[in-house]
Chain A
Amino acid sequence: MPELDYRALGLKVGLEIHQQLATREKLFCACPAELGEEEHDEFERRLRPTRSELGDVDVAALFEWRRGRSYLYEAPTMHSCLVEADEEPPHPINREAVAIALAIALAAGSWIPGEVYVMRKVVIDGSNTSGFQRTAIVALGGEVDAAGKRVPIETIVVEEDASRKMGEEGRRVRYRLDRLGIPLIEIATGPVIETPEEAREVALAIGRLLRLTGRVRRGLGTIRQDLNVSIRGGAKTEIKGVQRLDLIPKAVHYEVLRQVRLLEIRDELRARGVSREDVLSMQPVDVTDLFRSTKSKVVRRSLGKGGRVLALRLPQFKGLLGRELMPGRRFGTELADYARFWAGVGGLFHSDELPKYGITGDEVEAVYKALGADPGRDAFVLVADEEEKARRALEVVKERAAKALEGVPEETRAANPDGTTRFLRPRPGSARMYPETDIPPLEVDEELVRMAEEIKPEPVEAKMRRLVEEYGLSRELAEQVIEDVRLDLIEMLISRYHGELPASVIASLFTVTLRGLRGEGVDIEAISDDVLEELVDMIARGEVAKEAAEEILKKAAEEPGKGARAIARELGLGRVTREEAERIVEEIIKENIDKVREKGERARGLIMGRAMAKLRGRIEGKIVAQIVEEKLREALRG
């Protein structure tokens, strides 16, 4: 990553951390708050842009509706009900979820309202069957310690998670309703973060605070970070759906880079003397005839379906469309994103990337000519599609290009797996929110506050002291336990087996063994709590040695759903007695007697290796070493 002086650029980042809560039921119905892979029913619906809501965003929804966009819902029988299917009004808000959020509010010293109001936030992408997400503020203000400073909290919100998107089938989007309605907490910080690394640290600290309640879900997709990023002179960009912590600094950095480059493009355009009016006065020109015998597959396919090729001149934009904003994403990519979003046009070419994609130099020259444009100074954009769509695409491309003269437009962007981002939609205003009148306001009464007090996370220091003093963990191990996503499980197991199994054995199972496996690329997310509980139980009962854990867990990751005992049986990891182990070692020595005679004491490594291959996990390694030592001496004496 190239160096940037973030402070000098006036970088300001605010975070919105979304985390699924581990409640028994969903937020507005009695379904279990978890995903389900059982059989499902299916139904198909459409969503209408409601009239009074037709603002910026809903124009996009309107195009979708006009194009006949529909949504196919999978309704799993055990993990969704009429509420998710939008066939029954929501039940009153889940008090357990509110209590967990209030617990965080208490820990952050936030203000708690007298009544919590559920609102409807209009979302017409089909991910909510109702066409809106239900969301409620449960606290305002407060602060948390993170990255060496006091980070202000703006809002603490409880809201319903959306359906799981399973894919697209033509004009249909397929969603699964199991995730819809799982309670989420959203914690929004003030925009006080000044570097990408600090953003990661704050996210980490808030994530830890949430885990300390022991009442949040873990695993992939249960936590999601949105980043609000701006630099001086730029604009607030909302980056949605960063799932991994280590991606945060990258995403922030790339966004800073993008805004810096967009400001450079603005300055360059101004220096070239381009005005908004110059851009907005351009009209698309139909250049279909120039491409009658083109080699470009994209263009040919579109022409075959009766489409047209339209071109738009961008005066004095030469070289700017090809300018890289982020790795692999150019200013031209931004224009293409807009064309896709607003007009549903997939293929867009710009002159800075041509000739390429089967479009020849002659064709480029001919387009310049048809547009009356100067190949040395101007740029152009080409779209091949149905005429109406192509015209709409070029209209939005023109508007976006004109905005380049102002700098950075306010946008909501989605994070790519590499930390770069793509345009998602314009930033919505607050007008898209109105009260959910099907749900009465919830009074924050004494009982609710009492519930919250019980869940309120204990300060990190107190937890640390308990782990060290009560359970005898080393400070280092205790620290690692506190940072572990399975903190709640580890704590539960340590307390359950207190006096039977040293806490350090349990802790290292997670902080050493599991982490080691992850390092080897094992999908440790697939290992369920049940397997880990069973395994610890087996170790505590002496059914397997703790050395067997690694092998059992590796297998558990490959075959989710299988119990630890079943795996141990399959792997032949039953415990052996000392006598049996002695017999096995004697056997090995007999088989290798020539080498033993030849090498003498130095054969110990060889014999130990062979013995461990047979005995790992079935008896402690220490004992095997003793036996090998003994038996080897006996063999050499004899």
Chain B
Amino acid sequence: MGIGGYPEEVSHFLRSHGLEVGDRVKLRLDSGLVLEGVVMPRYSPSTRPVLVLKLRNGYNVGVRIQEIRSVDKVERVTQESPGAPVPLVEELSIAEDKRVALIGTGGTIASRVDYETGAVKPSLSQEELVLSVPEAFQYARIDVEELYSILSEDMKPGMWARIAEEAARKLESGYDGVVIAHGTDTMGYTAAALSFAFHKGLPGPIALTGAQRSSDRPSSDAAFNLTAAVLVASRAPFAEVTVVMHGETGDSYALAHRGVRVRKMHTSRRDAFQSINALPLAKVYPQDGRIEVIDPSHRPRGGGLVLENGFDERVALVKHFPGATGEIIEMLLDKGFHGIVVEGTGFGHIASDAIGAVRRATEMGVPVVITSQTLFGRVNLNVYSNGRRLLEAGAIPVEDMLPETAYAKLSWVLARTRDLGEVRRLMTTSLAGEISWRHNLRLYPRWRHSA
């Protein structure tokens, strides 16, 4: 790649005409047409010999360089400063009675678009927040701190510990609650991890939130979600680790989900986050400040702070599939992994010829935790013989726990103990509401069966 993300052929063309990205040029084409515009960088990689020009009417077009007969450079366009933006509200009103710390980790929620290239860059600052989401301040004074600026998929267990540490520091210094801005893809994992780290004591809510539409768009859900999260952090009656996101496709209410029960169930919808095998904690109405508690069995605000931090990064989450043998588990053992979470089929099964690998893992002191790829419902290894053999090989079934939650939990447990008996005890005890023993008929979504 050469200049502006162009292939060498185009870079060479630009160099030989003394051109750079951002130059205003006049191109005379073979057809006689004269194009005037600004040379743009490429935002999508390509080997095509095409130059991208932004015309005066604002449109971009791709010009084949072999069609260009002559080039006139008109001027270098200096980057215009966007000028002082008009504030969304005439007067910022701040609820001074509550304080919320906003910790940025990256993702779509805190991004700005470069209107020239269309590239979206993560950025979250105090000034930015005041200007772009002023309505969040009606519930609390908000202090912003940017901890990371990473993509969701680049999140790692080591970072969970940093986030937990930072959140603890904020709560200790008197904030009423903490909001964590996070990429949505792995937000559920981080929420589960924090739930275990704080399961013994949390004085105020930690609300993770994000956006499914980047904040540069007029239709972005970022401000709605962020305002709802600030509302939860400052005023919810519960001191729980939650994910606060759109409750339905419209801008009506958000849901606060328990961190250990929530899962991203859709690639793109605003209401992608749903509680599985449990009801959400509360409905949240960011436009009028209401919080309707759904699950009354929550930890109240005002308790002490107990942080048990640290995560083991040598834990794997693997899915069983037709044809999978014990090979994958064997490879993980050979690589020295400390724990394995298996997404088994149905009740939690894996193939007969894979069970030997589970036995070997147990013998090596590596826990194998069983969850189900059906997500809904409870694992049960007593119904079929393979299940009983799996139990006998030492597998640890974890009831109705989500695979991702089991992964975060095992990572947290293994950072405390490597004793297999203790690991088993902790994994099968509900520490933060990750296991429940009763499912009524309503805990399963209604799917439509007609068009």
Contact = CB atoms under 8 A, between A and B. Distances in A.
Given A115-B50, A140-B61, A132 B217 contact: yes
A140 B60 contact: no
Interface stretch (B27-35, B196-204, B338-346, B419-427): B27-35
Interface in A41-98: 42-54, 58-59, 61-62, 65-66, 70, 77-78, 82, 85-89
B383 interface: no
A364 interface: no
Contacts of A48: 88, 218, 220, 223
Nearest to A444: B62
Given A51-B131, A52-B216, A430-B57, A88 B63 contact: no
B62 A114 contact: yes
A554 interface: no
B16 interface: no
A122 interface: yes
Contact of A140 (B33, B44, B219): B33
Given A77-B451, A89-B268, A117-B61, A434 B31 contact: no
A119 interface: yes
B48 A50 contact: no
Contacts, number: 151
Contact of B55 (A44, A45, A137): A137
Interface in A88-121: 88-89, 111, 113-117, 119-121
Interface string B201-227: 000000000000101111110010000
A136 B249 contact: no
A117 B88 contact: no
Contact of B43 (A116, A132, A435): A435
B61 A44 contact: no
A120 B219 CA distance: 13
B112 interface: yes
Residue in A82, A114, A135 whose Cβ sees the most chain B Cβ within 10 Å: A114
Interface in B309-346: none
A52 B82 contact: yes
Contacts of B117: 435
B31 A141 contact: yes
B74 interface: no
Contacts of B451: 77-78
Interface stretch (A123-131, A377-385, A544-552): A123-131
B252 to A, nearest CB: 7
A608 B48 CA distance: 76
Contact of B217 (A43, A85, A130, A440): A130
B167 to A, nearest CB: 28
Given A52-B112, A88-B268, A43 B62 contact: no
A142 to B, nearest CB: 9
B86 A62 contact: yes
B249 A434 contact: no
B64 interface: yes
A613 interface: no
B217 A131 contact: yes
Contact of A87 (B58, B115, B216, B249): B249
A66 B87 CA distance: 11
A441 interface: yes
Contact of A437 (B57, B118, B213, B250): B118
Given A48-B218, A51-B85, A434-B116, A43 B61 contact: no
A117 B60 contact: yes
A59 B215 CA distance: 18
Contacts of B216: 50, 52
B62 A116 contact: yes
Given A48-B88, A433-B58, A111 B29 contact: yes
B270 interface: yes
A268 interface: no
B306 interface: no
Contact of B57 (A70, A87, A155, A443): A155
B439 interface: no
A440 B44 CA distance: 7
A136 B61 CA distance: 8
Interface residues of A, number: 61
B59 to A, nearest CB: 5
B150 interface: no
Contact of A117 (B56, B57, B59, B113): B59
A53 B118 CA distance: 13
B121 to A, nearest CB: 12
A140 B37 CA distance: 13
B27 to A, nearest CB: 11
A47 B86 CA distance: 16
Contacts of A46: 251
Contacts of A113: 61-64
Contact of A434 (B67, B118, B213): B118
Nearest to B43: A437
A184 to B, nearest CB: 15
B120 interface: yes
B119 interface: yes
Interface string A184-217: 0000000000000000000000000000000000
A25 interface: no
Nearest to B220: A48
Contacts of A122: 218
A436 interface: yes
B24 to A, nearest CB: 13
B89 interface: yes
A43, A62, A437, most chain B CB atoms within 10 A: A437
A431 interface: yes
A65 B88 contact: yes
Interface in A13-52: 42-52
Contacts of B223: 48
Interface in A146-181: 155, 157
A86 B61 contact: no
B250 A130 contact: no
B251 A70 contact: yes
B269 A87 contact: yes
Given A48-B88, A440-B44, A87 B31 contact: no
A432 interface: yes
A168 to B, nearest CB: 18
B115 to A, nearest CB: 4
A89 B218 CA distance: 15
Contacts of A53: 115, 218
A238 to B, nearest CB: 13
Nearest to B268: A88
B48 A51 contact: no
B6 to A, nearest CB: 12
A50 B267 CA distance: 24
A443 B46 CA distance: 10
Given A44-B251, A117-B52, A117-B61, A54 B218 contact: no
A129 B269 CA distance: 13
A140 to B, nearest CB: 6
B132 interface: yes
Contact of B48 (A42, A85, A443): A443
B153 interface: no
B363 interface: no
Given A130-B217, A141-B31, A441 B62 contact: yes
B248 interface: yes
Interface of A: 42-54, 58-59, 61-62, 65-66, 70, 77-78, 82, 85-89, 111, 113-117, 119-122, 124, 129-132, 135-137, 140-141, 155, 157, 430-437, 440-441, 443
13 contacts: A62-B86, A66-B88, A82-B269, A86-B219, A111-B29, A113-B62, A115-B62, A137-B61, A140-B33, A437-B43, A440-B44, A443-B48, A443-B50
Name the 4 nearest CB pairs between A and B, nearest first: A131-B218, A115-B62, A433-B58, A435-B118
Given A89-B268, A433-B59, 16 more contacts: A48-B220, A50-B216, A51-B85, A51-B88, A52-B113, A53-B218, A54-B86, A70-B251, A82-B269, A86-B213, A88-B268, A111-B33, A114-B62, A120-B118, A137-B61, A443-B48
